[in-house]
């Protein structure tokens, strides 16, 4: 069964960064789960092909956890964060 998730980002560069970070990790069970990542403008698109609904749910959950981590990292350390980060003097 094929499932597609489209995740919007602030800009195409962030979507590409997310793709490059997430695609490094291979699926744990490649015979049961196939994952294809692509970028369309500011959208990260993932297509999962899984053998069961349970695997689709587990795979989607793990993917979205990775997306959440990438988004929080971009927010903390990305170009936008540099402009909003207060300077601290020790």
- Select the CATH number that applies to the domain covering 2-79 from these four: 3.30.310.50, 3.20.20.150, 3.30.70.240, 3.30.70.870: 3.30.310.50
Supply the pLDDT for residue 78. 76
90, pLDDT greater than 70? no
Supply the pLDDT for residue 8. 96
The answer to whether the beta carbons of residues 44 and 58 sit under 8 Å apart is no
Neighbour tally for 81: CB within 10 Å: 12
Supply the pLDDT for residue 88. 47
pLDDT digits (tens, 9 = 90+) for 19-73: 999 999 877 787 889 999 999 999 999 999 999 999 999 999 999 999 999 999 9
Element at 67 (helix H, strand E): helix 53-77
Supply the pLDDT for residue 12. 95
């Amino acid at each position: 069964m094929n499932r597609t998730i489209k995740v919007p980002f602030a800009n195409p560069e962030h979507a590409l960064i997310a793709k490059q970070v997430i695609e490094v990790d291979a699926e744990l069970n490649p015979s049961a789960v196939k994952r294809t990542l692509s970028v369309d403008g500011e959208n990260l698109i993932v297509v999962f092909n899984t053998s069961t609904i349970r695997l689709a749910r587990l795979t989607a959950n793990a993917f979205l956890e990775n997306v959440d981590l990438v988004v929080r990292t971009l927010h903390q350390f990305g170009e936008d964060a540099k402009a909003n980060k207060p300077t601290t003097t020790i």
